[in-house]
Amino acid sequence: MTNQPAAGHDDHAPQYLSHRQIVSVLTGLMMGMFLSALDQTIVATAIRTIGDDLHGLSLQAWVTTAYLITATITTPLYGKLSDIYGRKKLFLFAISTFILGSLLCTFADSMYQLAGYRALQGLGAGGLFTLALAIIGDIVPPRERAKYQGAFLAVFGVASVLGPLVGGFFAGASQIFGLTGWRWVFLVNAPIGIVALFVVQATLHVPHKRLNHRIDWWGALALVVGLVPLLVIAEQGREWGWASSRAYLCYGLGIIGLIAWITVETRMKDEALLPMRFFRNRTFALTNIVGFIMGAAMFGGLAGLPLYLQIVKGASPTKAGLLLIPLTLGIMVGSIASGQIISRTGKYKVFPIIGASTLVVSLAALSFVQPDTSLVYTCTMSALFGFGLGNLLQPTVLAVQNSVSPRDIGVATASATFFRQMGGTAGTAVFISVLFNEWSQRIPVEFSPNNTAGSAALAALKDPTVMGQPKNQAFGQVLDKFQSGGAGGVGLNDTSFLNGVVADLTRPLFNAFTFAMHNLFLTTSVLTVIALVLLCFLPSIPLRGRGPGDAPVAAE
């Protein structure tokens, strides 16, 4: 396996910009990334309210998965198309598509409809993050690149603070100007996106040398055929049965699609969405395998925490979002610290190892959360979780970009994002599905008379004083579905029945949820151990700096 780009003259050697030019370009990039970052934090905060209102909370994986599927599949396409038509044109297209998807999400009437519109949003989102990283890769040498990551981190930090506040405000409002409050979670993207379009048009001027590629449409089609059925069964497996005829059909289609994709990519050679020769590069291969694993672990953990805070801890959407700020601060501290040290030393290998080790500890610690676990403990572990991510995400992208020739930066960056998003898509679908499945199956067990909390709850259910209250009556009706053995998670599609119910009744249900959470975080912790072992074999290639032939050039 090769570990570094081939030596010799490169016709596509980068012409790096001056600091002043880079700062101007960053303004446009940050606007596009702010749009994507704010959307994620707002939706994550409001998803319980949205699910309850559309009577499909247990279907929330579809909403997240549909978004991630399209964002994942289009990521490598953006890399290729931007080589031909220029990064700026594709960046503007990505923002415009994202705005259109947001407007449609505003008027969704069901969770499945919302999932479809989120898929359109994902078509735009696939280019926002990838193209921003690729543009930075075009104009900044790897060793200096870490210094400019602080601007991106500031964007995510601001979005992480504003998102919970704005999302909580919208989710908590019954109506705003005639629209249900949560619908503004998506509608707010429109004015922000329009401003971003004008700013990007005015500030994003980067050198572009057209590279005439053939577009690998057959590879893209094969990838869709391979991924979509597998992700569908990951989300629907608990409903259909993992060994049902529909499941086997999805498995078969997925395997056929992936085999076809590998065949097409091999024949397309350098014109492939993801050239197979890259996998002979040990740095590229290891970081992308780790990226897939960490994407699954990261999105699994990020999906579970807000639900725990809102369902078990009873936090409002706004408060739940604010309680996740320590996680965001952890990401920022980890990324800034690692970026500054990498910029000074040119070495990066130790930071992904530190990050993965920290993630193992934090995920394992989060697996022990209970209904009465202190919020201080949860927030501390969340901050540690974020610190691990901060030390892992940025250095691995730098490693991938540094391991290929400058002309391959666009495709290599898109590939790194692709594998991380693919892991995140699969992780979200599987872990949320398993979480709700285990929760619904555990509820009857927790309400057993042999269980202390269950015994107290059963006594409360027979107490006329308790059951005379409407909220407690509604809770009892939902519980009957589980006790009859036919709930199948139906009663969890709208968790608003928990609001205002006495603690004796809800404690067994919360115990059941934390039982399911325990398995989720324990599984993600084991996945992270695998990633940690792989990272120990990551080559340590000094980051390239600005060479004699890399003088700043005027932007077009």
Q: What is the pLDDT of residues 19-63, one digit of tens each?
A: 677 777 777 788 887 887 788 778 877 877 888 788 776 666 678
Amino acid at 395: P
Q: What is the pLDDT of residue 555?
A: 35
Residue 551 has pLDDT above 60, yes or no: no
Q: What is the pLDDT of residues 336-359, one digit of tens each?
A: 788 778 878 878 889 999 999 999
Q: What is the pLDDT of residue 405?
A: 76
- Tokens of residue 321, six digits: 């979002």
Band of pLDDT at residue 143, cut at 50, 70 and 90: low
Q: At a CB cut-off of 8 Å and minimum separation 6, what does 398 contact?
A: 142, 145, 146, 342, 348, 543
CB atoms within 10 A of CB 112: 14
Q: What is the pLDDT of residue 534?
A: 93
Query: Which of residues 168 and 265 earns the better pLDDT score?
Result: 265
Residue 490 has pLDDT above 50, yes or no: no
CA pair distance 358, 294, nearest whole angstrom: 13
Alpha carbon of residue 463 to chain centroid: 45
Task: Report the first-to-last Cα separation within the chain, whole angstroms.
Answer: 38
User: Per-residue pLDDT averaged across 142-162, rounded?
Assistant: 67
Q: At a CB cut-off of 8 Å and minimum separation 6, what does 198 contact?
A: none
Count of residues in the chain: 556
Q: What is the pLDDT of residues 6-17, one digit of tens each?
A: 434 444 555 566
Residue 265 has pLDDT above 80, yes or no: yes
> Which range is least confidently modeled, 100-114, 368-382, 454-468?
454-468
Band of pLDDT at residue 553, cut at 50, 70 and 90: very low
Cα distances from 311 to residues 317, 404, 444, in angstroms, run: 10, 46, 18
Query: Which of residues 544 and 13 earns the better pLDDT score?
Result: 544
Residue 495 has pLDDT above 90, yes or no: no
Q: Which residue has the tokens 């699954």?
A: 296
Q: What is the pLDDT of residues 77-116, one digit of tens each?
A: 887 788 777 888 898 999 999 999 999 999 988 888 998 9
Q: What is the pLDDT of residue 268?
A: 87
Enumerate the domain spans of the chain: 19-216+273-440+517-535, 217-272, 441-493+500-511
Q: CB burial class (10 A; 0-12, 13-18, 19+) of residue 5?
A: middle
User: Per-residue pLDDT averaged across 262-283, rounded?
Assistant: 85
Q: Which residue has the tokens 């693919």?
A: 422
Q: CB burial class (10 A; 0-12, 13-18, 19+) of residue 326?
A: buried
Q: At a CB cut-off of 8 Å and minimum separation 6, what does 90 contact?
A: 78, 81, 82, 127, 131
| DSSP label at residue 180 | E
User: Per-residue pLDDT averaged across 209-216, rounded?
Assistant: 69
Q: What is the pLDDT of residue 548?
A: 42
Residue 449 has pLDDT above 90, yes or no: no
Is residue 44 within 8 Å of residue 321, measured between CB atoms? yes
Mean pLDDT over all residues of the chain?
79
CATH architecture of 19-216+273-440+517-535: Up-down Bundle (1.20)
Element (H, E) at 233: helix 217-240
Amino acid at 158: V
Residue 556 has pLDDT above 60, yes or no: no
Q: What is the pLDDT of residues 303-320, one digit of tens each?
A: 788 888 888 888 876 777
Question: What does residue 176 show for φ and ψ, rounded to 5 degrees?
Answer: -135, 115
Q: What is the pLDDT of residue 59?
A: 67
CA pair distance 116, 131, nearest whole angstrom: 24
Query: Which of residues 384 and 420 earns the better pLDDT score?
Result: 384
Beta strands, E only, 307-386: none
CA pair distance 443, 484, nearest whole angstrom: 12
* SS3 of 359-377: HHHHHHHHCCCCCCCCHHH
Q: What is the pLDDT of residue 384?
A: 94
Query: Which of residues 550 and 236 earns the better pLDDT score?
Result: 236
Comparing CA positions, the residue from 299, 234, 302 lying closest to residue 71 is 299
Query: Which of residues 261 and 474 earns the better pLDDT score?
Result: 261
Band of pLDDT at residue 118, cut at 50, 70 and 90: very high
> Which range is least confidently modeled, 90-99, 248-257, 420-429?
420-429
